[in-house]
Amino acid sequence: MTNLTTSFAGKVNSKLVLDPTLVVEKEGRYFLLNKDLKSVARQDFFYAGKYLGKMKKGKFFPSFNLLAMLAEAEANKVVVDEKAAWLFICGRDILSERITAVHGSRRKGDFTLVLNGFGECLGFGRILHDLSSKDINAAIRNVSDVGDFLRRER
């Protein structure tokens, strides 16, 4: 079960490894427990501990909890300005000129976490153009952002 999270972590160049004895799967959704929870949680739970993400049609969709954990350590990250942060959580892509810092990969096709100026993870995206080049077009394609919490409620 931890293969999925480790594999996703690898996509953003993170070395995050979770204790496999504390990761549990429930109907395609993955959760990270702690020792206290593990001693209390029964198999018929609906939600437990930290939600890590879900498998859907063979593809892993990371949760925002997992993205935040990845953002705490070394990983591919871009920091964006206030305007881009707002547009990103509205589901928009990110322009090169709005990126204020890049950590890790700048390579086209790689995945990267997207952070605001406070270092908070807003989601993740895919690098569309080499970030070393000065391109005013969209540089990061939005894959998932925290605005999803609002979209889920519609």
Partner 1 sequence: MSGKQFFVNRYEKMGWNFNEAKARQAIRVNVANAKEKNILRRLRSNGVLLDKTPFLETGYWVRRSRVSVGATAEYLLGLYSIQEAAAQIPATLFSDVKGKLVLDACAAPGGKTVQLADFMDNTGVIVALDVDKRRLSALANHLERCHVSNTVVYNRDARQASGLKLNFDRILLDVPCSGNFASDRDWFARRTLKDVKRNAGLQREILAEAAKCLTDDGEIVYSTCSLEPEENELNMHWATKNLGFTIEEVDCHGQKGLTNVLGQQLDVSVERCRRVWPGETQGFFVCKLKKRRNDK
Point out which residues bind partner 1 (CB under 8 A): 32, 34, 36-37, 40-42, 44-51, 63-65, 68, 85-86, 89, 116, 120, 122, 146-147, 149-150, 152-153
- Are the C-beta atoms of residues 33 and 24 closer than 8 Å to each other? yes
As a whole number of angstroms, the distance between CA 12 and CA 7 comes to 9
Q: Give whichever of 37 and 128 is closer to partner 1, judged by the CB atom.
A: 37
Q: Give whichever of 86 and 135 is closer to partner 1, judged by the CB atom.
A: 86
To partner 1, the closest distance from the beta carbon of 136 in angstroms equals 24
To partner 1, the closest distance from the beta carbon of 105 in angstroms equals 24
To partner 1, the closest distance from the beta carbon of 106 in angstroms equals 25
Q: Give whichever of 93 and 105 is closer to partner 1, judged by the CB atom.
A: 93
Enter the DSSP assignment of 93. -
> Torsion angle, CA of 143/99/65/59, rounded to 10 degrees?
20
- Are the C-beta atoms of residues 18 and 32 closer than 8 Å to each other? yes
To partner 1, the closest distance from the beta carbon of 133 in angstroms equals 28
Q: Give whichever of 35 and 107 is closer to partner 1, judged by the CB atom.
A: 35
- Are the C-beta atoms of residues 121 and 113 closer than 8 Å to each other? yes
Both ends of the chain: CA-CA distance in Å?
Answer: 31
